[in-house]
Structure 1
Amino acid sequence: LGPILPAIAQRTELDPRTPVFCGLHDSNASLLPHLLSDAPPFSVVSTGTWVVSMAVGGKTTDLDPARDTLVNVNALGDPVPSARFMGGREFSLLTDGQPQEWIDDDVDAVLARQVQLLPSTQQGSGPFPHRAAQWHNADNLSSGQRFAAISFYLALMTATCLELIGGDGPTTVEGPFAKNPLFIRMLAAATGRAVVASETSTGTSIGAALLASDGIETASKGEQTEPPAEPVWGDYAEAWWLAVRM
C-alpha cells in the first residue's frame, strides 16, 4: 500500500520507509503458502473456532449458501470455493471437562458398534444448520470411546464440507485438528484421498509473512495419511452419511 505516513513514522520512531501491506483473513493466510508451493487440485482445511475448508482446482459444483458454502477470494485475487462449520466450538462443547485420551480398543469399539454422533451440535451454521445433534448406539461409552466418536463426527462434517465445494486431491489440515490422528484418519477414509497433517501451528503467520516476501515459495510439510486399508473405516463413514440422509 506504500510507506507509513510521516506523522506515524515520527510518533513511533519507525523508519519512514517502513512498508504497509494489505492484510488478509486468517484462513486465507493459511491457504497462501499452499497456493505458492502446491500443484492443484488440493484442499486446505483451516481449523480453529471455525473449520474452514477451501478447494483449489477442484471439481465444478453448485454451491449452496443455505449450507454455509460460498466463493471466497484468495490472496492472489482468484476465487476459492469454501465451506465452514463451527468445529472448534463444537469440540469445546463436546469435550468440556472430559479426558481427551484414547486407546486402540476404544477406536475398534466405536467402529464395530457404529457409535455415531450426528449433526449438529452447534446449530445455525455449517452444512446441516437446522439439524439437532443425536447420538446413536452410544450407551455406556468410555471416555476414550466418546472422544473417538467426537473426532469421527468432526472429520465427517469436514468431509461433507469438502464434498459440497468439489474438493479434490490431497487435503492439508492446519491448526489444532492436525494434531488429532483420529480426525485425520477418518477424514482420509471419508474422502478417499490423502490427508496431510501440517507439522506447524503457525500456518497463519507464515501466510501473513509471505505478503512481504515477494512470493517466496514454501514447500508443504507434514505427515501424510492415506485412506485406511481396513474397510471398517469406510463402512463407518457410509453409515454416518446414510443416517444423516434419513
Structure 2
Amino acid sequence: MPVIAIFDIGKTNKKLLLFDEQYNLVKEVSDRFAEVTDDDGFPCDDIASLSEWIMQQYRQLLRSEVYELKAVNFSTYGASLVHIDKEGNRIGYLYNYLKPYPPELMQQFLNARGGATVFSQQTSSPVMGHLNAGMQLYWLKENKPVFFNNIGTSLHFPQYLSFLLTGKRFAEMTNLGAHSAMWDFDKKQYHSWLQQENLRQRLCEVLPGDTAVSAGTITIGIGLHDSSAATIPYLASFTEPFIILSTGTWTISLNPFNSSLPTAAELEKGCLSYLTYQGNPVKTAMLFAGNDHDQQVKRIADHFNVAPEFYQSLEYDASLIEKLQATQTAILPFIGSATTPGVFHSRVLSGFDNAVEAYHQLIVDIIAQQALSTSMVLKNSSVKHIYVDGGFCRNKIYMQLLANTFTGIKVYATSMMQGTALGAAIAIHPHWNTQPLSKNLVTLRQWKPLGN
C-alpha cells in the first residue's frame, strides 16, 4: 500500500500518521517524551530522544512489508529553532518558547529598533520574547556568545526534522510567517535587523512550503508550521470565505480571506499575520486559551476532588448557563496580549455548587475572550463559516457557546481530527501522488445557536 508519512509534533503528543493515496488515515502512532531541562534549568522538549524516535520510525517504514513509503513530511509547533554547527551536528537545546525573556535585553533590542510599536508593525508580529524565533537568536548572541559562535545554521523546527532525513538545509514560508519577527511583510524578505545583528548568515534560503527533495527513492517535504498546515485541507475543500479556529494549547483564528496587516493596537492583543506556504499574508489572532483551559480544569478538579478528565463527557446544559448568568458576577473579558488568561482564574471556586457548574462558567469565560480575539480577524471580510478543528471541536459546551456567540456565521466542528498532518501531506501532493485530490477531505457538523 503506497503511503505518505507525516510526523506531527505537538507540545504534548508526538505523532506519526500514515495516509494512503486517497488521504485516508491508515495508521497512527502517538508517543510522549519526558521534558529535559536546558542549560538554565528551564524545561524543554528532549530533541535528542525525539530525533532518535523519528529516525527509528522512518527506518521501520523503509523495511515495512505492509506499507510502501513514498513520501514524508513534517508539521510542528512554531517559535522553535534547532542549531547545527559548522560540521553539521546538532548542538544545544530546543529552547522552550515559554522561557522568560530578560526584560533589559528586550528593552535594549527595542530601543535600537524604534520601539515595540514600530518593530511589531514592520514584522507583523507582536513582541513576545522567545515566542519570536528571531528574538531567540538575538538572545543567544547576547547572552550565550560562545555557543552562538559555534552555530553554523539555525533551522526552524520542521526544517530540522527534514534535515535529519536529507542533510539539506532550508527555511520555509509558514515558519517565518508565524510570529518569528524575522520577516519584512512589506518587502517580502528577511528583515534588515537580522543583517544588522549578524544573524542573517546563520539562516537559510527561504522556500515555499510545498517544496520537496529526494532522499534516495523517497520524497521528503521541508516541513510546515502546524497551524498554517491546518488551513490547507480547508482551502482545498471550500471556496466561500471562512475562518479556521485551530484549537490546542493555543486557539488560533486564521482568516485566509483577509490579507490586511494588523494595526499596532491589534498586534498588542495577539493579532498578527501568518504566511501561507506560498507566502501570502493571512490575518491571524492567537490566544493561549487551551493552556488556560487545562490550568483551570486542574484547579476545578483539585477543588471538587474529581478526576481531571471529568469534563470530557459533559453535555451543554442551557439551564445551568441561565443559572450562572443570574448568580455569577459578570466580569468583562479582556485581552492585553496573546497570553492574557481568561477571567475565570479570578473566580472563587467555593461560589460554585459542583465541578460541572464551575466548568460551564470556565467555558463561558473562555468563549467571551475568544470572541474578542476572533473578531480581530473578521474585520473587513465577508466570512460565512467558522470551522473549528483540534481538541475543542469535540467539546459540546465549547461548540454550543461558540455558536451562540457568532449568531450571524455558521459554526462547524470538523471530524478531521488530524487536519494539521493532512495539510502537511496535501502540501506535497504533486510530488508523490498521481491520484486526483478528493474534495471530501473535511467532514462537518454544524452547531446552531440556541437560547441559553
Category of TM-score, reference length = shorter chain: 0.7 to 0.9
Structure-2 change in CA distance of 1:131 and 1:76 (3 Å): same
Q: TM-score, normalised by structure 1?
A: 0.75
* 2:321 matches 1:107: yes
Structure 1 gap segments, 5+ residues each:
234-246
Query: Would you say how many aligned residue pairs link Structure 1 and Structure 2?
Result: 222
Q: Encode CA deviations 1:173-200: one digit per residue, 9 max, x unaligned.
A: 1111001111111112212221111113
* 2:428 matches 1:212: yes
Runs of 4+ in structure 1 off by over 6 angstroms are: 129-132
Is the 8 Å Cα contact of residues 268 and 336 (structure 2) preserved in structure 1?
no
Higher strand share: 2
Per the TM alignment, residue 166 of structure 1 is displaced from its structure 2 partner at its CA by 1.7
Q: Structure 2: how far apart are the matches of 1:208 and 1:117?
A: 40
Q: Structure 1: how far apart are the matches of 2:219 and 2:397?
A: 43
Residue aligning to 1:53? 253
Q: Structure 2: how far apart are the matches of 1:132 and 1:110?
A: 13
SS at match of 1:156: helix
Structure-2 change in CA distance of 1:200 and 1:151 (3 Å): same
Residue aligning to 1:241? none
* 2:414 matches 1:198: yes
Per the TM alignment, residue 139 of structure 1 is displaced from its structure 2 partner at its CA by 2.2
Per the TM alignment, residue 224 of structure 1 is displaced from its structure 2 partner at its CA by 0.5
SS at match of 2:254: strand
Per the TM alignment, residue 226 of structure 1 is displaced from its structure 2 partner at its CA by 2.2
What CA RMSD, in Å, does the superposition of the two structures yield over aligned residues? 3.6
Is the 8 Å Cα contact of residues 43 and 172 (structure 1) preserved in structure 2?
yes
Is the 8 Å Cα contact of residues 261 and 272 (structure 2) preserved in structure 1?
no
Q: Structure 2: how far apart are the matches of 1:130 and 1:52?
A: 15
Is the 8 Å Cα contact of residues 273 and 281 (structure 2) preserved in structure 1?
yes
Per the TM alignment, residue 124 of structure 1 is displaced from its structure 2 partner at its CA by 7.0
Structure-2 change in CA distance of 1:130 and 1:78 (3 Å): same
* 2:387 matches 1:172: yes
Higher relative contact order (CA 8 A, sep 6+): 1
Structure-2 change in CA distance of 1:217 and 1:57 (3 Å): farther
Is the 8 Å Cα contact of residues 260 and 283 (structure 2) preserved in structure 1?
no
Letter in 2 for 1:86: F
Residue aligning to 1:95? 297
Structure-2 change in CA distance of 1:132 and 1:190 (3 Å): closer
Residue aligning to 2:371? 159
Q: Encode CA deviations 1:81-109: one digit per residue, 9 max, x unaligned.
A: 00011111111111013531456243342
Is the 8 Å Cα contact of residues 116 and 138 (structure 1) preserved in structure 2?
no
Structure 2 gap segments, 5+ residues each:
1-71, 73-161, 168-213, 431-435
Per the TM alignment, residue 129 of structure 1 is displaced from its structure 2 partner at its CA by 7.2
Q: Encode CA deviations 1:49-90: one digit per residue, 9 max, x unaligned.
A: 111111132596854110010111112332110001111111
Q: Structure 2: how far apart are the matches of 1:43 and 1:223?
A: 16
Per the TM alignment, residue 153 of structure 1 is displaced from its structure 2 partner at its CA by 1.9
Q: TM-score, normalised by structure 2?
A: 0.43
Residue aligning to 2:449? 227
Per the TM alignment, residue 18 of structure 1 is displaced from its structure 2 partner at its CA by 1.9
* 2:355 matches 1:134: no
Is the 8 Å Cα contact of residues 124 and 130 (structure 1) preserved in structure 2?
no
Q: Structure 1: how far apart are the matches of 2:367 and 2:394?
A: 13
Q: Structure 1: how far apart are the matches of 2:343 and 2:270?
A: 14
- Of all paired residues, the percent bearing the same amino acid is 21
Tell me which moved more, 137-146 or 67-76. Answer: 137-146
